[in-house]
Homo-oligomer: A and B are copies of this chain.
């Protein structure tokens, strides 16, 4: 690129928010992405690396040498370094760690030790804390010594001896009460408190339910370790939604829009391989009934309908059931009731749509001698397959959850596998009995 264009571009990037630069980098093909990346001032590299998606971050890190990486990362907070660490070469992490203060080094160690889906992995260490036996005036004077408060500070935490959390003082009370009032007289003692090992997903539900901006995070002894903010919670919610969508399509990870064909293809192969296996299994089921298909070839044309509708109906049941499981609305007391209800819906759908499909089949093949029997087989097979689909749609997620796995993962393959194979088996099996 021409040098003048480069300096113009640099000037336009200069005032931009790191998140905006990250967005631009994600939307650019690899070569142009690296050109822009090299123009961004070195001291902002770290913040931008935090903002880009995992797949794009990899391409950026690959383009940097050791010293550049150390420069980029060392300016970050301990919790941010912990976020990047898994993607960095180990010698870079070591070098950065060696330059940290003792306290930060301990924070980094802690942040990296929490499981990925725990509150600890998302918390920051910027919690501002005060004592309860001082006046608001003292707190105000203390806060005025900060250049700025940590982002998303809507409350300061009140701690006792050994940093044991006693409550929180919302900025709101700090501002609306007279300066002479004591902290202990206006602090909130019932503040929602998270533990480092709590699940992020449940913490996000609490933030959503109680409209929180920040919540203190403590260790099991009740000592204040840090806080979780709504900014992280928004990311958790968005990522959960994305992961659901991606995993439903069998995509293992979010793809860089401009990664190589080879790399993108590999991201999708496991899913296609699994589906090819299940499809061949269903094909063998059909193969077992070649005799009856040879006799009544119309069966070949009608069988995908039986399999398809049960798959769709089962998918509806499964989507609602997985959602109810995730929201904790299904319990031992109402599970039986829900199962009965879904089976009733499946039965009703079977009678209605199986009936319509049977009539259509009869009408389509009304000139052949087997028309009536084809329609009857169709209706019966659809009722049975819809019931089966509903059962599978509830049993599989429930089983996965009991086994401690994510109920959404893999359920849909198993459902399609069952409604296809069993749909063919029921329909062609019934036909074998009826068309002798």
Q: Interface on A for B, CB 8 Å cutoff?
A: 17, 19-20, 23, 26-27, 29, 140, 143-144, 146-149, 151-154, 171-178, 207-211, 213, 230-231, 233-235, 237-238, 240-242, 244-246, 248-251, 255, 257-258, 261-262, 264-265, 268-269, 271-273, 275-276, 279-280, 282-284, 286-287, 290, 293-294, 297-298, 300-305, 307-309, 312-313, 315-316, 318-320, 323-324, 328-329, 331, 334, 337-338, 341, 344-345, 348-349, 352-353, 356-357, 360, 364, 420
How far, in whole Å, are A271 and B349 apart by their CA atoms in the complex?
12
Could you list 14 further interchain pairs (A-B, Cβ under 8 angstroms) beyond the known A26-B329, A304-B304? A27-B331, A146-B176, A174-B175, A208-B238, A249-B318, A251-B320, A261-B348, A265-B352, A268-B349, A284-B301, A286-B300, A287-B301, A290-B297, A290-B298
Contact pick for A353, options B17, B173, B276, CB 8 Å: B276
Q: For A261, A294, A353, which residue has the most chain B Cβ atoms within 10 angstroms?
A: A261
| Chain B residues near A301 (CB-CB < 8 A) | 283-284, 286-287, 290
Q: A286, B304: Cβ atoms under 8 Å?
A: yes
Q: Which of B257, B271, B338 contacts A329 (CB 8 A)?
A: B257
Q: Is the CB of B240 within 8 A of A230?
A: no
Q: In the complex, which residues of chain B have a beta carbon less than 8 angstroms from the beta carbon of A20? A: 209
Known A176-B148, A334-B27, A349-B268; contact A308-B279, beta-carbon cutoff 8 A:
yes
- CB of A414, distance to nearest CB on chain B (Å): 14
| Contact present for A272 and B349 (CB under 8 Å) | yes
Q: Can you name the residue of chain B whose Cβ is closest to the Cβ of A340?
A: B261
Q: A148: shortest Cβ distance to chain B, in Å?
A: 6
Please give, as numbers and ranges, the residues of chain B lying within 8 Å of A286 by CB-CB distance: 300-301, 304
Given contacts A234-B234, A290-B297, A334-B29, contact A308 B257 (CB under 8 A): no
Closest Cβ of chain B to A9, distance in Å, is 16
Residue of B nearest to A267 (CB): B316
Do residues A312 and B271 form an inter-chain contact, with CB atoms below 8 A? Answer: yes
Cross-chain contact A353 with B272 (CB below 8 angstroms): yes
Alpha-carbon separation in the docked complex, A342 to B264 (Å):
9
Contact partner of A305 (CB less than 8 A), chosen from B171, B280, B357, is B280
28 contacts between A and B (CB under 8 A): A27-B328, A27-B334, A29-B337, A144-B175, A146-B176, A149-B172, A149-B176, A152-B211, A154-B154, A208-B235, A211-B231, A213-B230, A240-B241, A241-B245, A248-B248, A250-B315, A264-B345, A265-B349, A269-B349, A271-B316, A276-B305, A276-B309, A276-B353, A279-B304, A280-B360, A287-B301, A290-B298, A294-B294
Residues of chain B within 8 A of A238, CB atoms compared: 208, 237, 241
Chain B residues lying within 8 Å of A172, measured Cβ to Cβ, are 148-149, 153
- Chain A binding surface, main DSSP class: helix
> Nearest-CB distance from A239 to chain B (Å)?
10
Contact A207 B234, beta carbon cutoff 8 Å = yes
> What separation, in Å, do the CA atoms of A258 and B364 have in the docked complex?
39
Flag if A249 contacts B315 (CB, 8 Å).
yes
Docked Cα-Cα span, A273 to B294, in Å, equals: 30
In the assembled complex, the Cα of A173 lies from the Cα of B143 at a distance in Å of 10
Q: Is A316 within 8 A of B268, CB to CB? A: yes
Q: Which 3 A-B pairs have the closest CB atoms?
A: A241-B241, A300-B300, A249-B319
Are B176 and A275 in contact, with the CB atoms below 8 A? no
- Least distance between A23 CB and chain B CB atoms (Å): 7
CB atoms of B316 and A250 under 8 A apart: yes
- Min CB–CB distance A326 → chain B (angstroms): 10
CA distance A344 to B178 in the complex (A): 69
CB-defined contacts of A241 to chain B, threshold 8 Å? 237-238, 240-241, 244-245
B344 touches A272 (CB 8 A): no
Closest to A315 in B: B249
Task: Please judge, given known A-B contacts A172-B148, A234-B208, A294-B294, whether A279 and B319 are in contact too, CB under 8 Å.
Answer: no
| Min C-beta distance of A51 to chain B, whole Å | 8
- Determine the chain B residues whose CB is within 8 A of the CB of A360 once the complex forms: 280
* Interchain CB contact under 8 A, A245 and B323: yes
